[in-house]
Amino acid sequence: MSNLILQALQFDQSVIEKIAAITGADGVQDLGPTAVRLLGADPNEYDAVKAVCEQARFDFAFIEPVQLLREMKILAMDMDSTLINIECIDEIAAAVGRKAEVSAITEAAMRGEIKDFAESLTRRVALLEGVPEAALQQVYDQRLQLNAGAERLVKVAKQHGVRTLLVSGGFVFFTQRLQERLGIDEAYANTLEIKDGKLTGRVLGDIVGSQAKADHVIRLAKELGASKEQIIAVGDGANDLPMLAQAHYSVAYRAKPVVQEQARFALNVAPLDAIINWFRLSH
C-alpha cells in the first residue's frame, strides 16, 4: 500500500471521498488547503485514479515511502516553460517579427518531432541574427515571470540541504539572472554570440542539449554520492527526458504528452512547490 498525495487549486470533497473508496484508503491527512494525503491507498488502482483526477483537475502522486526532504540530494530543473512562464528564444524572436517561425520549431522540438535538439536550436538561433542585444534585457524585464511555486520550491529545497541545479537548452543571459535571483547553486545553458551589440545568429561553444542536461545531473550525483532515489528532476519538453530518466522523482510540469507518458509524476494543475508535499519536512 502507498500514500496517495492529491493536490488541486480547489478541492471537491466528494472527489477525495471517491478516490479514497477506489483505493481502499485507510485515512486522510490534510497537508494544507490544497493538498491531502490518503494513507494506505492501493497503487494498483493507478488507472482509475488517473481517470478521476483528470476529470476533476486534480494532480496525484503515489509515494512510498514518504521520505524526508533533507534525504534528497539534487533538485534539477529545466528553465523555459518549467521554472519560468515563457520560451525565451520565442520572445527574443518577437523583437524581429520572427516569433511564429521560431515558435513552430520550438513546439516541434518540445513534442519530440525534431529529434536532434542541437539542430533545432541552431535553426532557431540563426533566425535571431541582427536582434539587438538590448532585446534580451527587454525580454527578461517585460516578459519573463517565474511560474507559480518556483521561488518556494527552490527556497525550501535549499533550506533542507538539497543542491539546486538549473540546466537549460536556453541561454546563459537568463539562467545567470535566475541563479542570482533565486540563489540556485549551479546553472548551465547556451551562450549567444554577440558582435557590435547585435546577435550574430550563432551559439558559442558546445550546445547544451538533452544529453548535456542529463550529464550535468550524472556528474553532480557522482560528486554528492546521490542515488537515483535522492534526485528530483522537473521538465516539460522532450529534450528533458534524458535528465528526467536520472531521477526517481521525475516530474512532468505542464508537459508535452511524450513527457507525461515517461515521467513518474505530473503537475498539470498544482504549482511547482506542490513537489514539497510529497516529502516530510521533519520527523
Locate all alpha helices (DSSP H) within 95-235, ordered by sequence.
99-110, 117-126, 134-142, 150-159, 172-182, 210-224
Distances (CA, A) of 77 to 41, 224, 237, 245: 29, 17, 12, 13
Distances (CA, A) of 83 to 30, 137, 210: 27, 18, 17
Entry pTM? 0.95
Query: For 68, which DSSP code?
Result: B
Cβ contacts of residue 122 below 8 Å, gap of 6+? Answer: 203, 207
Instruction: Say which range, 41-55, 107-121, 157-171, 243-257, has the weakest mean pLDDT.
Output: 107-121
Amino acid 96: pLDDT: 86
Amino acid 283: pLDDT: 66
Catalytic amino acids?
Answer: 78, 80
C-alpha torsion sign, points 130, 107, 189, 85: positive
Query: For 273, which DSSP code?
Result: G
pLDDT digits 0-9 by tens, 62-99: 998 899 999 999 999 999 999 999 999 999 999 889 99
Domains of the chain and any CATH numbers: 1-66 (3.30.70.260)
pLDDT digits 0-9 by tens, 214-269: 999 999 999 999 999 999 999 999 999 999 999 999 999 999 999 999 999 999 99
Query: For 280, which DSSP code?
Result: B
